[in-house]
Amino acid sequence: MNDKMNKSKKAQLNQVFTIIATLLIAGVIILVGAKAIGGTMKSKCTTDLVTFQNDISQAIKDNNHYGSVTGEKFRAPCKYTTLCLVNTEAIREKTSLNSFPDELSSEAKFLIKNSVESGTEQNIFLISSDETKPAGFASELMVEGGDVLCIPSKAGDFSMTMYGQGRTTKIKSKNSLDNN
């Protein structure tokens, strides 16, 4: 009888070790899988950002034919919720920008203002709740109603109308943030 009890305790102990080992292996698999998914998401964001930069720059360049009017929609990459565009002339003249939409963070205003006033060739900016990212330069870019136009994303897209001006493309948006 004692022999049966020892075997029963050994069997229970083996089951406990088997369960613990299974849980440890499952935990390691979940951890490795989560890191792989995180890396894939970061890679997707980088790809989306590069695609966005190329698409918007090309659209601005392609739509400068005098009299052309084109509606454009660009998928907002990753976490970005606002697109700000700056007149190319403001950068060439190193204009002091003072008019920004109230909704922009002070960090976003500071970065855009310093970029323009230093003459840095950046006039496309993507903004999220925690980051402002320069996203390119289009020498043909003009915006309606001032030197800065900020467009919030709607359903994950930035929508705008491009008007060909000959050498430049003027951009308007019905859902732009107001400059004050």
For 144, other C-beta atoms within 10 Å of its C-beta total 15
Phi, psi of 81 (to 5 degrees): -120, -10
What is the distance between the alpha carbons of residues 109 and 99, in angstroms, rounded to a whole number? 9
- Residues 95-111 pLDDT 10s: 777 678 778 888 888 89
Q: How confident is the model at residue 1 (pLDDT cuts 50, 70, 90)?
A: low
Which pLDDT value is given to residue 44? 75
pLDDT band at 38 (very low <50, low <70, confident <90, very high): low
Residue 6 has pLDDT above 80, yes or no: no
Q: What is the pTM of this model?
A: 0.72
Q: What is the residue extent of each domain of the chain? A: 42-172
Q: What integer pLDDT is reported at residue 162 of this predicted model?
A: 94
Is pLDDT above 60 for 71?
yes
Q: What is the mean pLDDT of residues 1-7?
A: 62
- Average pLDDT score over the chain: 83
- The 10s digit of each residue's pLDDT in 105-140 is 888 888 998 888 888 889 999 999 889 999 999 999
Please count the other Cβ atoms lying within 10 Å of the Cβ belonging to residue 152: 17
> Please, what's the b/e burial string for 87-121 (b: 16 or more CB within 10 A of its CB; e: otherwise)?
bbebbeeebebeebbeebbeebbebbbebbeeeee
